[in-house]
Every structure is written in structure tokens, then in C-alpha cells.
Amino acid sequence: MYAIGHILKEIREESGYPLQEVQQCVDIDLTQLCRIENGKRLPTIEQLQKLANFYNYDYKFLMVHRESDKIACSFEYPEFAIETLKVAEDKVKYGTQYLSLFQNTIYQKPISLESRRYIGSKSKLTEWIMNLIDMETENVNTFVDIFAGTASVSNQAIPKYNQVIINDILYSNNIIYKGFFKAGEWNEEKLNNIITNYNTLDPDTLEENYFSQNFGGKFYEHNIAKSIGYIRQKIEDMKSELTEKEYNILLATLIYNIDKLANTVGHFDAYIKRPIKSQPLRLRLINAQDFDNVEIYRKDANLLARELKSDLVYIDPPYNSRQYCRFYHLYETLVKWNKPKLFGVALKPVPENMSTYCTVKARDSFEDLVYNLKTKFLVVSYNNTYHSKSNSSENKIRLEEIESILKKCGKTKVFECSHRFFNTGKTEFDDHKELLFITEVDEKRKSKSFPTVLRW
């Protein structure tokens, strides 16, 4: 049954025309007209045009009903109709761009931990690192990833070790670890309903907010920025109706989904100065799990070192002057949501969590860290970027310094793997190497901490 017929009948009856009179004036066969009005057949475009003219009625309105009748009556699987219509709407809106814009949501699978742009991520090296650790260490129960970043190394360690401790100084990383790994209750259907709601938002109807006013048209296309700010506020407003795990999953989900929409080269030190393509924001949940062998911290590594007793500590600090809290300031602002005053072209807040590893104190910080860790094995990642031409990419700790400090801790082996590095084009890495030091800590050092030049 087509609704357009009933609409036409109502229009005719309200205008006071008998059917025969309409039939004569518009020259449509009477039986056909009856069938149209009874919803048994669709008017042709020509017939609809004639009727719209005769009743002096909005042709577009009638056409929209005719077209939607056609669509509504064409489903072979009516149980998928609503979902199909939503996808069809996006396909009509975004045309051939559809595939590239919706890459993120086309696959039903939840988003994996590795699916993130992060400077210095070891996600492509985890197999190499974990194999070496497997071969070179034994009796390891507690594994610490003390500068965890994306936690790609922790992710591989969780199924292998009895206890995994994950630490990073950034708020956003901390929320991500909790969303992906922390034990806790969550209801997937509830979360899916929440994000479906966000996915059907029309950004044109949303008001400007902190996020869009600051980052719109810069780090994100303006409408996307409006949606991000709106969703972030909604998550905060509904915090009391969410479990802690649900809250963390939603925030981590927001970060992971907006990562690929950012108008950047992968960090927020700068945005690309060119008009930004309009894109939809469609969220997909992260692959949340809960592990009871995981502990999560957000502490300065050198402070945490003094509290921990473990078997193996994996150490992958920043090695140049580029501060992670400045690279990822936008996620820090989004997670903390205290709406700080922002400064400069890149709209950064007042610095917080600046790392001594990015300063002249790097060498001493490293020494202080390894001397104060009570552990059997130290595993240190290092890449030899210190011959770089750009000052900011230059390593703050030299290879010889790392070697000599580690050798003082115990028997040290070094392993090598070539690897493509992040750089902004200024740096030449001819002899690029990713190194892994594995130190078996001397008995006398295992349980003691040692005074170093730095005070923590």
C-alpha cells in the first residue's frame, strides 16, 4: 500500500473536487486514479506533476512521498529496513567518498588497541621485542611497562605474565588503558545504544561548545568538532549512570574514533593549514576487555620506580626534546575536560606533566630510574636518532651513556633491528637502528635502591 494515494485523496477531498472532475481535468484514466487514491498503484511522475498543478500543491512534497513509498515497499528484508535506510542516507550524502569516509565503521569488529597514531609506538616491533624477552629472561612473573605509550607492549605481555603493570604520565593514555584492560562491569548493549545515539546526531542542529570554539576549523572540521564537544559533555553529564568501566570505554572510544579524523600528521603540535574536508563522525566501540592481572598507574616513572618490586621492567622513554604532553595536549584537554585557557597557534594549555627525559636531565633521570628499580631484568628500547640534523629530534641520551649505565646494573646484551622512524622530513636516518638492551640485574643491586645525582 502506497501512502501517496491517501495523501492525494485527502488533498482532493479538502479541495472539494469529485473524482470524475479531477479525472477529466488532468486526463488520467478513472480506474487508474481510483487505484492511485486507494494506495494500490503509484502515480507516474507525469501524473503526479499534473495532480500537483491541478491542486496547486507543493510538487516536491508529493514527490518525496512517492519516492519514499517506492523505497519503503522495496525491502526484501524488512527487518533490516531501518538500518539499511541509515546507511543509504550516508551513501546518498557522501557518494563515491563513502568508502574512505566510513572506513572506520564499515567493519563490525571493535577497534583494536593498535589502531592509533602515536609517535614512537612499538606496535610494529612487539613481536621482535617479546621474542627477545622470551629467549633472554626467565622466572618472570611481574612485567612492568613503565613508559607504556599506546601499551602495545603491555598488550602482548598480558597473556604471558602473571601480573602486568602499565604506567604512563598522560591522562589520555591512562583512560585508554582503563578502557581496554581494567577489570570492571560494563554492558555492551547499553554502550552500543549510547553511541548509536551519538552516530545519528545532526551537527547542524548542535550549539557551539568549548571544543568547537577552540579546535573547530583547525584540528577538526567545524561540524566534527561540534559533535566531539557535544559527545564529550554528554559522557560527563551521564557519568552517574555509567559504571567506571563504561565511562572509560566511552572516553577511549571517542579518542580512538577521532584520531583518524584529525587534520594533523599524527600529533597535535600543529594542524595542517588547508581547508578541511567535511566528514561524518561515526563511532565504533573499542575492543574492551577486563583482566585481573593488570595494574594501571599514571605516575612519573622515577617516582613509581621507588614503589615497585617486579621481575622485569620494560623501559621506552622519550629520547628527544619533544614532549608527549604537548604532542597530545588535545586528548589531555578532552579527557580532563576542565576547559582550560589555551595558548598559541596550536591551542595548548599551560604545560603539565613535562618529562625530564626530554631535557638536559635525561641522562641523570635514566640513571636514577634504573638504579631505583628493584627488578631482575631491565629491558630498554633505544633508537639511534641522535645524529639527526634537527635539534628537536636529537637524542638527549647518547647510546654510550645508556650502555655504560646499564652495564653498571648487570650483565647487558644488546640486540638490533632496522626500523622506519617518525620524522618530519628534517632528519636523515641513514643508519637507523632500533636497539634493545637486556640487562640481568646483579644480585647485589636487585633489592636495593642507589642514590643518584637527581632528587625526586
Ligand X SMILES: C[S@@+](CC[C@H](N)C(=O)[O-])C[C@H]1O[C@@H](n2cnc3c(N)ncnc32)[C@H](O)[C@@H]1O
Listing from the earlier edge strand, what are the strands of the sheet with 312-315?
294-297, 163-167, 142-145, 312-315, 377-383, 434-441, 410-417
Say whether 192 sits in a helix, a strand or coil: helix
Q: What is the 8-class DSSP label of residue 287?
A: -
Q: How far is the CB of 399 from ligand X (least distance, A)?
A: 16
252/257 Cα distance (integer angstroms):
9
**Are the C-beta atoms of residues 253 and 170 closer than 8 Å to each other?**
no
Question: What DSSP assignment string belongs to 342-367?
Answer: -BTTTTB-S--S--GGGSTTHHHHHH
Cell of 82: 531501518
Count Cβ atoms below 10 Å from residue 162 Cβ, excluding itself: 10
Q: How far is the CB of 387 from ligand X (least distance, A)?
A: 19
Residue 15 to residues 10, 28, 54, 390, Cα–Cα distance (Å): 8, 18, 11, 79
Angle made by CA atoms 9, 10, 16, in degrees to the nearest 5: 90
Q: How far is the CB of 164 from ligand X (least distance, A)?
A: 13
Nearer to ligand X, 223 or 372 (CB): 372
Q: How far is the CB of 382 from ligand X (least distance, A)?
A: 10
Say whether 165 sits in a helix, a strand or coil: strand
Nearer to ligand X, 153 or 249 (CB): 153
Nearer to ligand X, 167 or 199 (CB): 167
Nearer to ligand X, 225 or 296 (CB): 296
For residue 374, the cross-strand partners are 309
Nearer to ligand X, 37 or 316 (CB): 316
Count Cβ atoms below 10 Å from residue 119 Cβ, excluding itself: 19
Cell of 287: 575492543
Cell of 213: 570554539
Q: How far is the CB of 138 from ligand X (least distance, A)?
A: 23
Say whether 145 sits in a helix, a strand or coil: strand
**Are the C-beta atoms of residues 381 and 435 closer than 8 Å to each other?**
yes
Cell of 62: 508529493
Residue ranges that bind ligand X, judged by CB under 6 A:
118, 120-122, 147-150, 152-153, 167-170, 173, 300-301, 316-318, 324, 355, 357
Nearer to ligand X, 169 or 235 (CB): 169
Q: Which of 421, 424, 419 is nearest to 435 (CA)?
A: 419
Q: How far is the CB of 441 from ligand X (least distance, A)?
A: 20
151 half-sphere exposure, CB direction, 13 A CA radius: 28
- Closest-CB residue for ligand X? 149
Nearer to ligand X, 214 or 302 (CB): 302
**Are the C-beta atoms of residues 319 and 362 closer than 8 Å to each other?**
yes
Q: How far is the CB of 354 from ligand X (least distance, A)?
A: 8
Nearer to ligand X, 230 or 382 (CB): 382
Q: How far is the CB of 453 from ligand X (least distance, A)?
A: 16
Nearer to ligand X, 43 or 349 (CB): 349
